[in-house]
Chain A
Amino acid sequence: MKVLLADDDGLIRALVSDLLAELGHAVVVAADGVEAVALSARERPDVLVLDLLMPRLSGLDALRAMRAAGVAAPAVLLTAITDGSARALEGAEEVAVVLEKPVSRRTLARALARAAATA
């Protein structure tokens, strides 16, 4: 699968994209929500992995913009916030899976599988 990963933290980008590559996925990375929206139109990813809190545009608002632009790929919301709090946010209904940080290879693989299953 081709995964679009957006996170403003360079360390997390490096870590998660390494894990994604190990799991056999192609990865395109964005450093904020605006970049992610632009990339999603160009790269047509199969799954979106979006950090919730990013400068300029949050993951949920980026997701809304992508949906408006016709990007239908299932979304994994990556966040340090607990699942319950993230789910209560406006726009969270578009999210297939909430993946809590820190991310391990196992939780990432499971989140991707669950997201892909909703597609």
Chain B
Amino acid sequence: MEELVVELVGVTKRFDRVTAVDNVTLQIRRGEFFSLLGPSGCGKTTSLRLVAGFEEPDQGEIRLDGKPVQSLPPYRRRVNTVFQSYALFPHLNVYDNVAFGLRRSSVPEAEIQTRVSQALELVRLPDLLARRTTELSGGQQQRVALARALVNQPQVLLLDEPMSALDPKLRRDMRTELKRLQKDLGITFVLVTHDQEEALSTSDRVAVMNAGKVEQVDAPRAIYERPATRFVADFIGTANFLPATVRAVNNGRSTVVLADGVSLVAPSAEKAPVGARVELSVRPERLWLTREPGSNGSNCLPARVVECTYMGPVTRYTVEVAEGVRLTTEQQNQDVVDGYQAGESVFLQWRPTSGTLLPAEAR
């Protein structure tokens, strides 16, 4: 069941001075929707191009369907790419663009005809066969690019920021559409994006990349709820960080102490043994503010409100728990009748299970 379609094993790719992909190991399963997510310049595109065959790795092995392919040219690999710029052939009409791949593998013309119409129907774009691609809207071009790739029934479909040129509304629609296509066809999709919402909402699994390295590979929920590194916690959504030291590990629960001696409880983490310097990360929406200290087993920190911003459904508070240690939290406005004022002393609380212990990074 857990068949691997794409494998990168210790792959490194350097350009003149930069190491674009740094010792990356990835395993992508058959039929899954996999995303490469990371900030600009972290090596997502390069990773994708290595799989497609446009770049050759300096080190490591790339396998498609279990076979090493790093020395195969792109036209010998059964993967297809949807390019960021779509790269539709301007001298060919829609039909000939979609038929391009089939013609290269000498499919009979009659079969080409049916498969091209099927592919265009799949992306909901029939009736434009004779149109020049330069006469299409951005969204239509994208659908043609998708059809042109899918019509070849690739083992893997690679998509490099396919939606970055679309307006936000269209982007959301396309996102749903992509997900539907992937489910219906059962083809493995590898999507490159720097849009976390896009990655989290479409993917079965997400790889978060940073500076050429893979920081974490996990399901979207795990990426958000249990980030493996400070980078992931910070890059996905917003996170609060409290520097601390692990005092005790007991039965899946760790006790950590802050610099001022307050102790807090959080789920244990493998990389946070007793004595380790860690950072306790909590999402803003998991924190709540009270005027009285709690007593129901939640973590509780005295704090002072520094800033409050009313935003309609929620109010965002910035609070200071110690000199220079500030956290943000968002409170639903229905819960709080009169809100808190800047300068007010409050208590900040959260459930122990809401926190994540991250190894402190040497900075």
Tell me, yes or no, whether A binds B: no
